[in-house]
Structure 1
Amino acid sequence: MEEVERLTERTDELCAKLQEEHKKRLALEKRTAHSDRIVKDLMLQRDKTVREIQALHAKKGESSATAEGQMHITELSCSEIKEATNNFDHSLKIGEGVYESVYKGFLRHTNVAIKKLNPESTQSQFNQEVEILSRVRHPNLVTLIGACKEDQAFVYEYMPNGSLDDRLGCKDNSKPLSWQLRTRIISDVCSALIFLHSKPHSIVHSDLKASNIILDRNNVAKLSGLGVCRMFNDEFRNTTTLYRHTHPKGSFAYIDPEYVMTGDLTPQSDVYSFGVVLLRLLTGRPGFGLLKDVQRATEKGCLEALLDSSAGDWPAMQAEQLARVGLRCCEIRRKNRPDLKTEVWTVLEPMLKSATNMLCSLSFKSVSEDLGGVPSYFICPILQDVMREPLIAADGFTYEAEAIREWIDSGHHTSPMTNLELLHPTVIFCRTMPSALRSKNGCRQMQINMLALSPWNFEMEICCVLNSLTQINLHKQNASVLF
């Protein structure tokens, strides 16, 4: 009986402790649930804060976007810039100006041009160039890839053919520019200026010269050197005559005389510089004293003697038209200079179409001869070389894949061959046909890729290939054709 009583008491004690532990467990569960709610609330607050930060970044990014679309500028570190240029190695310097030095660099597996402002340059100049290039995008304006604020350096797309100044001087034994190419370059520069001068944000380059016009691998001209340009903001939108009083900057041979006298900068100041560039392309001569020489030759009817013979035989009527346009652009008084969009472009547009068609025809002939009689079907109209990966574009012509993609991605909406607008920018890969070997003497292999964009294109390309293979077989008896 005593043992039973002790066990009963012990059992009661254990039951009481169990109840206490149960109560503690319930309390802990409540505290855990409360903590979970606190954690969830904190996570919601964190997500809300992140969204607010992203909204602020997006709002900040909108200030550097154009009306046509936003353009992001990549921020780069000093170490990346120095590594890309081998700590600004002098052997990599490809250009030098009053305000900057330009180096060829290799950044993130890509060839780039890195412009570093001189120590004398101000921070405002750096900020202005970033602001301008982040607001505008055009096929004939250089593309800004990134910038380093600490080093005051800009990273641009690399332009293999250098500046127009170098090409006019045939630097590094480069080939002289033909008159057809010069006509296209004049049109490219005019197109870029029309875009810059257009409202609501009219931009004056103010330092247009041959060294600030650079050529890509296809000799398409692009304007650079926008560090000293001026943007006319909202207060200037509704004015008929845009101007801004500022201290004259730029190269003396290209600078607007009225700008020097008054300090008033207007879009017509760029028109004067454009006229000097045009006359330089026409004659191949330096800018100093060029205006008087062309004016004297035009009045005496002996302009032909002043033309650059290395460009080939300029058509007499076209050369005279260009000379008169250049002289009008270089009028001392601004009000006598022509409007680029309504007057100059109407003269250049038909010249551009004619020169482009002739340029393609001549290029096909010369390249075919250089490559030992290779049919034109195998030659890319843009690269002027045998195609390895041909694609058919909307204009019905065949191009090297890399070249036509670069042409379209750079903002061109027209055909490189006809200069007519492309119906669509799509190029599609298809099955690859086996290659045709030109000979057994080590000549390169030609691989033809077919794009079945339409039955007509497919049939046309088949005929071209069969015709080409026949010519190759006749030209080289040892050639073998694999099917």
Structure 2
Amino acid sequence: MPPRQLPVAQAESVNEWEVNSRGSPSQGSGASVWSSSEEVLESTDSISVVRDEGSEDGSTLSLIQDSEDGIYRSSPMNESNEERVDSEMLDKLKQAMAEAENSKKEAFEELVKRRRAEKDAIEAIRKAKESESIYANEVKQRKEMEALLARDTLELNNMKRHQDEALEELKTAMDQKMVLESQMAESDRLLKELEEKIVSAVELLVNFKQERDRLQLERDNAVQEAEELRKRREEEATSSHTQQFFSEFSFSEIEAATRNFDPCLKIGEGGYGSVFKGFLRNTEVAIKLLNSSSLQGRLEFQQEVDVLSKMRHPNLLTLIGTCPEAWSLVYEYLPNGSLEDRLACKGNTAPLSWQTRIRIAVEICSALIFLHHNKPNGIIHGDLKPGNIILDANFISKLGDFGICRSLPSDGSLNTTTTLCWRTNNPKGTLVYMDPEFLATGELTTKSDVYSFGIVLLQLLTGRPALGITKEVEYALEKGNLSALLDCTAGDWPFVQAKQLAYLALRCCEMNRKSRPDLMTEVWRVLEPMKAACGASSSSRMGSEELSHVPSYFLCPIFQEVMRDPRVAADGFTYESEAISGWLDGGHNTSPMTNLTLSNCDLIPNRSLRSAIEEWLQQR
């Protein structure tokens, strides 16, 4: 039987399948494998090959059977002639199909291998990426470890450096310890030496006691000489008929009076020495004791004795007695201390009123006039200042400390054109109170006391320190602002009197002594009329017992004294003319009694009251 020929479409399908199935398995792309597989499947479908996935033989037989059926159906007429050809073709076809099946099988196996390879490649890529990530992390961790290692290395180096420093400090401390031990040993040695020196000092102390006894003996001799000098002066005083107003006390009395110079009784100290409060012969006294280191003390002692023993004045400090043995002066005790302390309100004491301050100025002026006109020789105090003005229980002032006072020559008069003076090359006193011309020329005159009095007067008005006070008052007067400079703690100053005192004080403080006013002819004329306003002695001034019998309407509400020139103010009250004028001139526009604003500043003379007062005074 001739071999059956396959239809052209089937042959082409077989050839195509063969070609595709025999394609080179060496192609590495996954897409080529899949395309080849699809082509094989298409070729197999075209020749109606039905393959069971579970059996390869079944698939082949089905294919051959389909082929034979097709051949027979396509060539029924030539069956005999073509049996041989068909047989050959069949054999070839079977062979081709077998080869195709093998190729398909190989291709499938190759496909599986490729899929596995692809899967392995993907897994390898994934692992490679994981490895890269792990590597990157390891690199990062390595860098971090390196940084940490570097930091640890730095810290280790620092610790090593600190350790070296600590070792060095320890070494230094050990060296210092050795030095201190050496110093302690040296201190022990010095201590022993000091103990030896103390023993020597005790011996010296014994020698000093012996020397003190020797000096005591010399002092006794000096006292004896002073006693002889005193006796000679008494003889001179007797011969000149000059009365002495003081007593002499022994050193034992002075020690007993001051409880052996108890520091608790010390009330003052100056260049001359210390001042103690004491009780001497049942009398409260102030005892000025010569300072052993004072070079001028003995000269000042004798100077003060010579002045105060021969004169008495209500405003001069009273000398009760002396102790030549101890070079001590015994004064009356004045409980209110110095004017300097009272102006400063030392010990929280109450400030001085303006009336008291004006009265003090009047009293000091009186004392200076008395000294300057003393007979036969005028006396210049030379050290007038608030510290040398002492106040008694009633705030009456007493001028003291005559240690550097000087006597004027007896030939001539103070009222002559020739100014008497005392010359020196070594001016003494307190600088801010000293006469500038005295400092420049060494000539001490009564006008030197006038300059000091002017400074004191300015301090009474302002309560300020002496340094620069003249410039301050001059400036205040130029600006019309004197009321702001007045010491407000003194109360409401009568402005007219305050201004008058300020101009007077500045005249006293003139640099040229010839321009300064005379105390008796000029200063006293200004101060004396102010006595009534400040409580100084006056014919119209009465004691508290006398005032209790005076009709109340006769008394000035401000001065609390019998009125001489009564005036009615706008508030309806009657005042002394000087008192109410001073109140209004001081810048007040209110009533002194009601503190209400006055409608006007007119003052009407109260003639009926004045007549009644004059009649009452005549009846007294």
Q: TM-score, normalised by structure 2?
A: 0.48
Residue 377 of structure 1, CA deviation: 3.7
d(CA) in 1 for partners of 2:531, 2:410: 35
Segments of 5+ residues of structure 1 without an aligned counterpart are 1-54, 368-373, 379-455, 461-483
Task: Work out which of the residue numbers 421, 424, 427 in structure 2 matches 1:243.
Answer: 421
**Residue number in structure 1 paired with 2:381:** 205
Q: Secondary structure at the match of 1:207?
A: coil
- Matched to 2:497, the amino acid is Q
d(CA) in 2 for partners of 1:219, 1:242: 34
Task: Work out which of the residue numbers 95, 100, 113 in structure 1 matches 2:268.
Answer: 95
Q: Relative to structure 1, is the Cα distance of residues 233 and 93 closer, same or farther in structure 2, using a 3 angstrom cutoff?
A: same
Q: Which moved more, 1:122-131 or 1:153-162?
A: 122-131
Residue 354 of structure 1, CA deviation: 2.3
d(CA) in 1 for partners of 2:405, 2:438: 14
Residue 154 of structure 1, CA deviation: 0.3
Q: Relative to structure 1, is the Cα distance of residues 348 and 178 closer, same or farther in structure 2, using a 3 angstrom cutoff?
A: same
Segments of 5+ residues of structure 2 without an aligned counterpart are 1-230, 550-615
Q: Secondary structure at the match of 2:428?
A: coil
CA-to-aligned-CA distance 1:79-130 (integer Å, 9 cap, x gap): 1111111121111111111222211111000100111122213422211111
**Residue number in structure 1 paired with 2:490:** 311
**Residue number in structure 2 paired with 1:18:** none
2:339 pairs with 1:160: no
- Matched to 1:192, the amino acid is A
CA-to-aligned-CA distance 1:435-475 (integer Å, 9 cap, x gap): xxxxxxxxxxxxxxxxxxxxx99x99xxxxxxxxxxxxxxx
Q: Relative to structure 1, is the Cα distance of residues 57 and 102 closer, same or farther in structure 2, using a 3 angstrom cutoff?
A: closer
Q: Secondary structure at the match of 1:160?
A: coil
d(CA) in 2 for partners of 1:57, 1:274: 33
Q: Secondary structure at the match of 1:298?
A: helix
Residue 293 of structure 1, CA deviation: 0.3
**Residue number in structure 2 paired with 1:83:** 256
Q: Secondary structure at the match of 2:394?
A: coil
CA-to-aligned-CA distance 1:10-66 (integer Å, 9 cap, x gap): xxxxxxxxxxxxxxxxxxxxxxxxxxxxxxxxxxxxxxxxxxxxx999744436865
Task: Work out which of the residue numbers 459, 468, 479 in structure 2 matches 1:280.
Answer: 459
**Residue number in structure 1 paired with 2:321:** 146
- Matched to 2:256, the amino acid is E
**Residue number in structure 2 paired with 1:227:** 403
Correspondences of 1:14-163 after superposition (within 5 Å) = 59-62=235-238, 70-119=243-292, 120=294, 121-163=296-338
Q: Relative to structure 1, is the Cα distance of residues 345 and 107 closer, same or farther in structure 2, using a 3 angstrom cutoff?
A: same
Q: Relative to structure 1, is the Cα distance of residues 125 and 58 closer, same or farther in structure 2, using a 3 angstrom cutoff?
A: closer
Q: Relative to structure 1, is the Cα distance of residues 63 and 257 closer, same or farther in structure 2, using a 3 angstrom cutoff?
A: farther
**Residue number in structure 1 paired with 2:28:** none
Superposition RMSD on alpha carbons, in Å?
A: 3.2
Residue 249 of structure 1, CA deviation: 0.9
**Residue number in structure 2 paired with 1:194:** 369
Q: Secondary structure at the match of 1:353?
A: helix
**Residue number in structure 2 paired with 1:411:** none
Q: Name the one with the larger helix percent.
A: 2
**Residue number in structure 2 paired with 1:294:** 473
Q: Which moved more, 1:91-100 or 1:260-269?
A: 91-100
- Matched to 1:319, the amino acid is A
Residue 363 of structure 1, CA deviation: 12
Q: Relative to structure 1, is the Cα distance of residues 64 and 79 closer, same or farther in structure 2, using a 3 angstrom cutoff?
A: farther
d(CA) in 2 for partners of 1:358, 1:228: 31
- Give the % identical residues: 56
d(CA) in 2 for partners of 1:281, 1:334: 22
2:392 pairs with 1:216: yes
Q: Relative to structure 1, is the Cα distance of residues 362 and 127 closer, same or farther in structure 2, using a 3 angstrom cutoff?
A: closer
Asked if structure 2 preserves the Cα contact closer than 8 Å seen for 1:71 and 1:135, the reply is yes
**Residue number in structure 1 paired with 2:532:** 353
d(CA) in 2 for partners of 1:350, 1:361: 12
- Matched to 1:139, the amino acid is P
- Matched to 1:174, the amino acid is T
- Matched to 1:274, the amino acid is F
**Residue number in structure 1 paired with 2:437:** 258
- Matched to 1:100, the amino acid is G
Task: Work out which of the residue numbers 442, 448, 454 in structure 2 matches 1:269.
Answer: 448
- Matched to 1:151, the amino acid is A
d(CA) in 2 for partners of 1:357, 1:202: 26
d(CA) in 1 for partners of 2:540, 2:412: 46
d(CA) in 1 for partners of 2:537, 2:309: 36
Q: TM-score, normalised by structure 1?
A: 0.61
Q: Relative to structure 1, is the Cα distance of residues 348 and 124 closer, same or farther in structure 2, using a 3 angstrom cutoff?
A: same
Residue 299 of structure 1, CA deviation: 1.4
Asked if structure 2 preserves the Cα contact closer than 8 Å seen for 1:204 and 1:230, the reply is yes
Q: Secondary structure at the match of 2:309?
A: helix
Instruction: Provide the aligned length of Structure 1 versus Structure 2.
Output: 319
- Matched to 1:111, the amino acid is E
d(CA) in 2 for partners of 1:250, 1:228: 8
Q: Relative to structure 1, is the Cα distance of residues 295 and 64 closer, same or farther in structure 2, using a 3 angstrom cutoff?
A: farther
d(CA) in 2 for partners of 1:145, 1:108: 11
Q: Secondary structure at the match of 1:136?
A: coil
Q: Relative to structure 1, is the Cα distance of residues 57 and 147 closer, same or farther in structure 2, using a 3 angstrom cutoff?
A: closer
Q: Secondary structure at the match of 2:268?
A: strand
Asked if structure 1 preserves the Cα contact closer than 8 Å seen for 2:435 and 2:452, the reply is yes
Q: Relative to structure 1, is the Cα distance of residues 62 and 303 closer, same or farther in structure 2, using a 3 angstrom cutoff?
A: farther
- Matched to 2:515, the amino acid is N
CA-to-aligned-CA distance 1:113-167 (integer Å, 9 cap, x gap): 1111222134222111111111221110001000011211100001011110011
CA-to-aligned-CA distance 1:277-306 (integer Å, 9 cap, x gap): 000000001101111101111111110000
Q: Secondary structure at the match of 2:259?
A: coil
- Matched to 1:296, the amino acid is Y
Asked if structure 2 preserves the Cα contact closer than 8 Å seen for 1:64 and 1:71, the reply is no
CA-to-aligned-CA distance 1:165-185 (integer Å, 9 cap, x gap): 011011122111100000100
- Matched to 2:516, the amino acid is R
d(CA) in 2 for partners of 1:292, 1:266: 24
Larger RCO (CA within 8 A; separation ≥ 6): 1
d(CA) in 2 for partners of 1:145, 1:342: 33
Structure index of larger Rg: 2
Asked if structure 2 preserves the Cα contact closer than 8 Å seen for 1:64 and 1:135, the reply is no
Asked if structure 2 preserves the Cα contact closer than 8 Å seen for 1:64 and 1:134, the reply is no
